[in-house]
Amino acid sequence: MDKKLEQLFYAVLGGALAVKEKIESGNDELKAWQEKSEANARTFFDEMAQRGEKEKEQFKGMFKEILKEVVAELDLATKQDLEKLKNELEK
């Protein structure tokens, strides 16, 4: 009976160690996957930030053009017009 009890103890101990090793290897894999995911997320975020900067400049240019059209359409005085008038008044 003692021999079988000892064998059962070692079988349970071996099983517990096998489960522990499996959990540890899974944990290492999970850590590696998490680090890879974080790196991918950083890369994606950096790419989106760069794209946003590029789009910002394009939007800014388009907005300036629209404003110029509106000023011309409404026949508003521009900075250059005011400078000419100022120069003429000074003469």
Q: For the chain, first and last CA: distance in Å?
A: 121
pLDDT digits (tens, 9 = 90+) for 32-85: 888 888 888 889 999 998 988 888 888 999 999 999 889 888 888 888 888 998
pTM for this one? 0.43
Confidence of residue 30 (pLDDT cuts 50, 70, 90): confident
Query: Concatenated DSSP letters for 33-66?
Result: HHHHHHHHHHHHHHHHHHHHHHHHHHHHHHHHHH
Residue 23 pLDDT: 82
- 3 state SS of 75: coil
pLDDT digits (tens, 9 = 90+) for 4-27: 878 888 888 888 888 888 887 777
